[in-house]
Structure 1
Amino acid sequence: MAQPIKVHLTPPGPNPWKVVLVLQELGVPYEYHSFPFAEVKNKPYTDINPNGRVPAIEDPNTGVKIWETGAIILYLIEQYDTDHKISFPDLTNRSLCNQFLFFQVSGQGPYFGQAGWFNVLHSEKLQSAMDRYNAEVQRILGVLEGLLSGKQWLVGDKMTYADLSFVTWNDRIDSLTMCAPDKKFVGFPGVQAWHERMTGRDAWKKCMEDRDRLMDEQGLQSNGMPKGVNSMEEYEALIKAHNEAEAAKKAGK
């Protein structure tokens, strides 16, 4: 039996749950190191990921420590999906899965993230920025709709890590673009059906139960900010105060 892989994460964001979802689908043991967002750019976490982003993993079975979700997912597939449960053995289909994974990490994730920033978190409402990134959300959904035409999955005849890599960000479209939950896939029925196939799975339900629990442990709202904090400015001030208190504590030792 493999030792559990340690997943370092702050629970609000979509990216860590891509990795957890893959682990859950593969049945690979894992454990959480869940910590506050205020600590993501501080030691000791930056000794693991100097970029100060989540997630990162540590695999005690191999000694590998790695960050960036695309790299983590490729590592997990190579190391732990030898039976090709959510991958393929042949070069063509493997390359197609990687193509879609890189489309997710370079296209969907960054553009959806910027939509969330300018629609929800940015202190100034910049209509041009909101319009640009909302349009990019629609464009990417359109690309996916075309790719899924006549198909259930992106590659071959089964769900793979290519499909799983998109689900966490797609699930947040309503909160990122401030639309009604039942309107986030309007005009993209193929994407909606594909998304629902994945979110109906036990692995997804387990991940979201864990996320809710970890969020509650940190006293966080659904938008990731602490309860009682109503704007990004308040949250940034809270983070600054936390970091100053930690620095003062270390200086006093």
Structure 2
Amino acid sequence: MEPVLFYGVPHGCSFGSIVALEWLGQPYRLHRIDMLSKRSEGFARVSPLGQTPAMVDSYGRTLTESLAILHNIAARGLDKGLGFAQGTMEFDELNWMLSYLHTTLHSALGHAWNAFKLDKDDTAGREFLRKLAKEKAAGAYAYLQGVLEGSEWLVGDRRTVADAYFIGIARWGEDLELFDLESEFPGMHNHMARLEADPAVIFAHAIEDETPAVTAGGFLGHIDIEEIAPRIAA
């Protein structure tokens, strides 16, 4: 059976895993999770911590955390340049970049998501978290802009799963109204604009927005949790 990716809305970092699956081009299905609502018991079997992305692979095994899922996708797409063979310097560079995106950029912008989820009356708490997010994310954006100087992609000379993950989280700076990326970090903005024109990124936006989505050929549709449950390995 084809893998199933559990993706979160609104604007989850699982966006990057959808992009990577489209680039991979192999059959897969999706299951949508509203991260602002109570999660089902069925989803808890896949992701005990209630986080997305999560994946049930073709053998019924469950996998969580973006880095693990993106490495899984990359390993199946070495011929497409999505990743590199483990043990190579290029693999270490990709692993480092994915780790940086997660531990630094994702974590920094996560403070603004926490502010978004706070009670509307907690003005002081919201302002503190947004200020913290902006300060920390600015440094991460500046560093990544430096990486992209003279380079078309974050790692190597082709798009990889790092670029897929990047576009899923870098967009949060404007989504959460922290930055005007075009004026403040034009190099970052240019890389994002190039990715936004990619059919896989356009597809992932359509999936999130529940508008008509044109797949590169791998997407086989959404699947209900009741259909997934019997496939999950004990």
- Bin the TM-score by the shorter chain: 0.7 to 0.9
- For residue 146 of structure 1, give the secondary structure of its aligned residue in structure 2: helix
Rg bigger for which structure? 1
Q: In the TM superposition, what is the alpha-carbon distance from 1:173 to its structure 2 partner?
A: 1.6
**1:213 maps onto 2:210 in alignment:** yes
Q: How does 1:1-253 map to 2 (within 5 A)?
A: 3-37=1-35, 38-40=37-39, 42-60=40-58, 62-78=59-75, 80-89=76-85, 91-118=88-115, 120-123=116-119, 124-126=122-124, 127-178=127-178, 183-213=180-210
Q: In the TM superposition, what is the alpha-carbon distance from 1:149 to its structure 2 partner?
A: 1.7
Size of the aligned set, in residue pairs, is: 205
Q: TM-score, normalised by structure 1?
A: 0.74
Give the Cα separation in 1 of the matches to 2:55 and 2:19.
14
Q: In the TM superposition, what is the alpha-carbon distance from 1:64 to its structure 2 partner?
A: 2.6
Letter in 2 for 1:125: T
Name whichever of 126-135 and 63-72 sits farther off: 126-135
Give the CA RMSD over aligned residues: 1.9
Letter in 1 for 2:169: W
Give the Cα separation in 1 of the matches to 2:157 and 2:78.
18
Give the Cα separation in 2 of the matches to 1:196 and 1:132.
26
Give the Cα separation in 2 of the matches to 1:121 and 1:35.
16
Aligned residues of 1:26 and 1:85 also touching (Cα < 8 A): no
Give the Cα separation in 1 of the matches to 2:29 and 2:150.
38
Q: In the TM superposition, what is the alpha-carbon distance from 1:178 to its structure 2 partner?
A: 4.9
Unmatched 5+ stretches in structure 2: 212-234
Give the Cα separation in 2 of the matches to 1:164 and 1:91.
21
Aligned residues of 2:78 and 2:84 also touching (Cα < 8 A): no
Q: Which has the higher contact order (CA 8 A, sep 6+)?
A: 2
CA deviations over 1:165-191 (Å, ceiling 9, x no partner): 111111232221355xxx234232211
Give the Cα separation in 1 of the matches to 2:61 and 2:80.
21
Give the Cα separation in 1 of the matches to 2:69 and 2:100.
15
**Divergent runs of 4+, >4 A:** none
Give the Cα separation in 2 of the matches to 1:186 and 1:135.
17
Letter in 2 for 1:115: A
Aligned residues of 1:115 and 1:177 also touching (Cα < 8 A): no
Percent of residue pairs bearing the same amino acid type: 20
